[in-house]
Chains A and B, each alone.
Chain A
Amino acid sequence: MSGGDYVRQMPEVSSDLAQRSSLVQRFHIDLPLLVLLLALTVFGLLVLYSASGQSMPAVLRQVRFFGVAYVGMFVMAQIKVRQYQRWAPWLYLLGGILLAAVLVAGTGAKGAQRWLSIGGFRFQPSELLKLMVPLTLASYLASRPLPPRFKHVVVSLVLVGLPGALIMLQPDLGTGLIVLASGLIVLFMSGIGWGYLLWALILAAASAWPAWQFMLHDYQKQRILTLFNPDMDKLGSGWNIIQSKTAIGSGGWQGKGWLQGTQSRLDFLPESHTDFVIAVLGEEFGLRGVLILLGLYLLIVLRGLWIGLQAQDSFGRLTAGSITLTFFVYVFVNMGMVSGLLPVVGVPLPLISAGGTSLVTLMGGFGVLMAISTDTRRLR
């Protein structure tokens, strides 16, 4: 196959290295990224074992999710970048339709309609859009000269804003924000003028009051209020944030040790293995553990940005940039909200929080990233 041809064309490379690189190459795997993801996976499972109250079934469940997610990533990595560019808009359209269907016929959880049941499968269309919005936008902009002109910016904003608004209507503020962020990041990376950014800031500031008044649900307002004053409602919405801050703070530099976190083990922490898992990590592994985690995340971001820089064309670049930076948005929003910097929105900590749906989407994104990465090398 082509791999064999490649080795023959590079006789100065040692056959050993060539053999390995060819294997990785053949399956479109970005080795540094894979190693970093595996490191995070192990770290995540360790924390989950503790956060779930040393429940082996919970860990095995997450292992199965990881299995599905890695397979998904592997499959996504095999698809040619060109195919993404071609099919993304259609999948985007499909996602939009499903999203509308959710609002009409979706099933709820905790007072929000997010799920769609098709033939016994439960499915969150918003997850599909997490990927399809940046891909579609990149596809749209990459086929036009960059930096984009005003007309293209407006179209892009509509392409991003429409699904974003629909998701927030469910209401799922966290996912909506992620979708919006992923789209806006594509615009930013496409070289949009700094003037637009200035205007965006002004608009955001101006719309804060109407948004507060007319768009936010009461519980969302409550979350924002408790951010500024958690003591206001100690046993209600302030409870989570007080307890998570206590958990993190009591970890100190060293942490209380694995499986020794009292806050999570004694049920003081709510959602301790899902959205608030960083509190368990902070309590048991201390600031050291938090820095190690942040270091791993930073390395993944750096690798992602590097893949973007090495990408073959604008579509690859924009997609890689968006996937990478959106990944960091997850990290920042989650770690910010659990430590009381940001209001509580449903954003998981990538690869550490338990849960399947968003993990699969996330790893799918990395699959696309690997496709871009290996696409680049193949053509070098």
Chain B
Amino acid sequence: MAPGVTLKDPYLESRLYGARSVAALIVILLLMTVLIARYTSLQIDQYEDYITQSEKNRVQLQPVPPKRGLIYDRNGVLLAENRPSFDLALVIERVENLDETLALLREVVSVSEADVERFKRLVKGRRPYEVVPLRFRLSEEEIARISVNSYRLPGVEIAGRLVRHYREPEVFAHVLGYVGRMSESDAENLDPVNYRGTHYVGKIGLEKHYEALLHGKVGYQNVETNAHGRVLRVLERSDPLPGADISLQLDARVQRAAVAALGERRGAVVAIDPADGGVIALVSNPGFNSNLFVNGIGSKAYSELRNSPDKPLFNRAVQGQYPPGSTLKPVLALAGLHHGAVNAVSTVYDPGYFQLPGVEHKYRDWKQHGSSVDLMMSMEQSCDVYYYDLAHRLGIDNIHSFADQFGLGQKTNLDITAERPGLLPSREWKRRVHQAPWYPGETVILGIGQGYMLATPLQLAQLSATLASRGKRFQPRLLRAVNGEPMDPIPLPAVEIAPEHWTLVHQSMRAVVHGARGTANRIRDGLEYEIAGKTGTAQVVGIAQDAKYDADAISERHRDHGLFVSFAPFDAPRIAVAVLLENGEHGAWAAPIARAVIDEYLRETTL
């Protein structure tokens, strides 16, 4: 060892090390104290805060949507049900490569451009870890194919739920309406608490009208979720109250018969039970596949429906407002009898036209009925001049107040959406809407249900029911029972007229079908019961003075509408039917449809 270099001193070094060990131990104990203080602070002092936070992390209150109520017809035929449906959905946060996954999915199941389009829209508005649907209603085979490939598809899930399904969508679309995915505007009008967890809501028709009844009450469950919001187990649960199952007055077989009788033709059929206002059938043809709307109809399919010249989305039965034409004549006849303007034997001369005193204008009849037309004949052969004269003698005020009692010009308040009120004109109405006085000529054409007057097929059916029940009136209703509890009919103020007047008008209406010259007597062959009815023809385009209506010369869309109101059996009416045949030319063509409906109903109920 070189001089000047300090030698190692083992004793000193050992003591030095001992001192440093003590120092290190002191530091260690200090740091341990810091750790213990920290963990004590977290676990003892702030325990309450953290245990609360951890519970909040763990437990989530989740809404459990109720099962939507089922819809049956009057005989227990299921019309609307809930079917389990399996959807393909993705959790974007778990998908490794979205484009690759989508490409792979398209190999495995059929995914349309529209699906991808909607999916991408939903992806933009989602919450983290939300399950975003890509395809609805997977088939068993598709589910199997996805399951087999699931290892290649992280973040892809198959989600099951109950979805509304309509058994015969084309037949019942207009009356039942449909449910659809809840939109923001829907949400604004609904109880946010009760609709937490609900995705489908009645959009139109009965489904919308009885939304509150069908929906039920939301349930809740406390679920344990992990950090990604996945439910791991249910801690406690209060079951939802399922929506009420409802039975309708509708008779599925009658409804089907009406659709079949209309066939390819555009039109509407409404059948009502005069005894309680129950709506036995309500058809607007063409119908549409309401199931398409449940999960959101594609824009292409929707515009096809909307732009179709046949207007399949238009509910003619309650939204269609047509001039009632001659189907108004029974009301006029009753008004005339009631006010003493005519009686059973009074007659009118029909030269083929009617003229107001001192006016050149000729109100034409559809044919010349000759001299001494009485009430029976006027109804049977639908003589226009008789009713021009009668209307003129009654005056607009009497006609308005009398027809008003039958509910014309007012909504019937049927339990369905989008009903239109029709129009029963009056002096006051003319002044208010047209700022013009009422002209006598307008009264004249009102006598045959033309001019301003408009009525829906539903109103005409209600009118028929009122005629059938000799003035007893009920609010038309689809709902028959809720969870098996029958609903009471809703009576309306009756039309009070002397019984002999009813009898006379009834007989005149029987002559329409059964009389030798009845306008609808082509349907009487083979009838096992008697029908009372009235045909009507509603002008679609005005016909110039002295011109003759020539069906062949007018395009099909501009031909007159055919109307028919009726009830049967004549002596004890059980069904009242109104038929509208768009561009059907004449009520005589609408009558067979009414007969088919009545046949089906009476056949069934007499079984």
Cβ–Cβ contact A266 & B57, under 8 A: yes
Instruction: Report B10-35 CB contacts with A as 1/0, cut-off 8 Å.
Output: 10111011111100110010011011
Chain B residues touching A, majority SS: helix
Chain A residues touching B, majority SS: helix
**B 221-246 contacts with A by CB, 8 A:** 224-228, 232
Cβ–Cβ contact B21 & A294, under 8 A: no
In the complex, what residues of A have CB within 8 A of residue B431's CB? Answer: none
> What is the distance, in angstroms, from A277's C-beta to the closest C-beta of chain B?
14
B47 within 8 A of A: yes
Cβ–Cβ contact B58 & A305, under 8 A: no
Cβ–Cβ contact B53 & A250, under 8 A: yes
Q: When A252-B43, A287-B44 are in contact, do A339 and B38 touch as well, CB less than 8 Å?
A: yes
Q: Which residue of B lies closest to A298 (CB)?
A: B32
Question: Which of the four size classes fits the interface of chain B?
Answer: 35 or more
Cβ–Cβ contact A248 & B42, under 8 A: yes
In the complex, what residues of A have CB within 8 A of residue B40's CB? Answer: 287
Cβ–Cβ contact B28 & A301, under 8 A: yes
Cα(A309)–Cα(B14), bound, Å: 8
Q: When A191-B13, A252-B44 are in contact, do A287 and B39 touch as well, CB less than 8 Å?
A: yes
A341 within 8 A of B: yes
Cβ–Cβ contact A321 & B43, under 8 A: no
B36 within 8 A of A: yes
Cβ–Cβ contact B34 & A314, under 8 A: no
Cβ–Cβ contact A266 & B17, under 8 A: no
A325 within 8 A of B: yes
In the complex, what residues of B have CB within 8 A of residue A146's CB? Answer: 8, 12-13, 16
In the complex, what residues of B have CB within 8 A of residue A286's CB? Answer: 43
Cα(A335)–Cα(B42), bound, Å: 13
Cβ–Cβ contact B38 & A336, under 8 A: yes
> What is the distance, in angstroms, from B37's C-beta to the closest C-beta of chain A?
10
In the complex, what residues of A have CB within 8 A of residue B435's CB? Answer: none
B46 within 8 A of A: yes
- Contact partner of A335 (CB less than 8 A), chosen from B13, B35, B51, is B35
In the complex, what residues of A have CB within 8 A of residue B36's CB? Answer: 290-291, 294
- Contact partner of B28 (CB less than 8 A), chosen from A262, A263, A328, is A328
**A 282-328 contacts with B by CB, 8 A:** 282-283, 286-287, 290-291, 294, 298, 301-302, 305, 308-309, 313-314, 317-318, 321, 325, 328
Cβ–Cβ contact A249 & B21, under 8 A: no
> What is the distance, in angstroms, from B396's C-beta to the closest C-beta of chain A?
74
A145 within 8 A of B: yes
A22 within 8 A of B: no
B555 within 8 A of A: no
Cβ–Cβ contact A308 & B17, under 8 A: yes
Question: Which of the four size classes fits the interface of chain A?
Answer: 35 or more
Most buried by B among A249, A263, A313: A249
In the complex, what residues of A have CB within 8 A of residue B224's CB? Answer: 262, 266
> What is the distance, in angstroms, from B25's C-beta to the closest C-beta of chain A?
6
A245 within 8 A of B: yes
Q: When A252-B44, A287-B39 are in contact, do A191 and B54 touch as well, CB less than 8 Å?
A: no
Cβ–Cβ contact A321 & B18, under 8 A: no
Q: Which residue of B lies closest to A249 (CB)?
A: B50
Most buried by B among A266, A313, A336: A266
> What is the distance, in angstroms, from B299's C-beta to the closest C-beta of chain A?
36
Cβ–Cβ contact B57 & A248, under 8 A: no
Cβ–Cβ contact A336 & B17, under 8 A: no
B9 within 8 A of A: yes
Cβ–Cβ contact A245 & B50, under 8 A: yes
Q: Which residue of B lies closest to A147 (CB)?
A: B16
Instruction: Report B507-531 CB contacts with A as 1/0, cut-off 8 Å.
Output: 0000000000000000000000000
Cα(A245)–Cα(B43), bound, Å: 9
Cα(A305)–Cα(B22), bound, Å: 9
> What is the distance, in angstroms, from B223's C-beta to the closest C-beta of chain A?
11
In the complex, what residues of A have CB within 8 A of residue B58's CB? Answer: 262-263, 266
Cβ–Cβ contact B21 & A189, under 8 A: yes
Cβ–Cβ contact B50 & A314, under 8 A: no
- Contact partner of A249 (CB less than 8 A), chosen from B16, B28, B47, B226, is B47
Instruction: Report A135-148 CB contacts with B as 1/0, cut-off 8 Å.
Output: 00000000011110
What are the 5 A-B residue pairs with the smallest beta carbon separation, nearest first?
Answer: A249-B50, A250-B54, A191-B16, A266-B226, A267-B227
13 contacts between A and B (CB under 8 A): A145-B6, A146-B12, A250-B50, A250-B55, A262-B58, A262-B224, A263-B58, A266-B58, A308-B21, A314-B8, A318-B17, A335-B39, A336-B35
A-B contact sample (13 more), CB < 8 A, given A249-B42, A262-B58, A267-B226: A188-B24, A245-B42, A247-B54, A249-B54, A252-B43, A262-B55, A266-B224, A287-B44, A290-B43, A309-B18, A314-B8, A332-B35, A335-B39
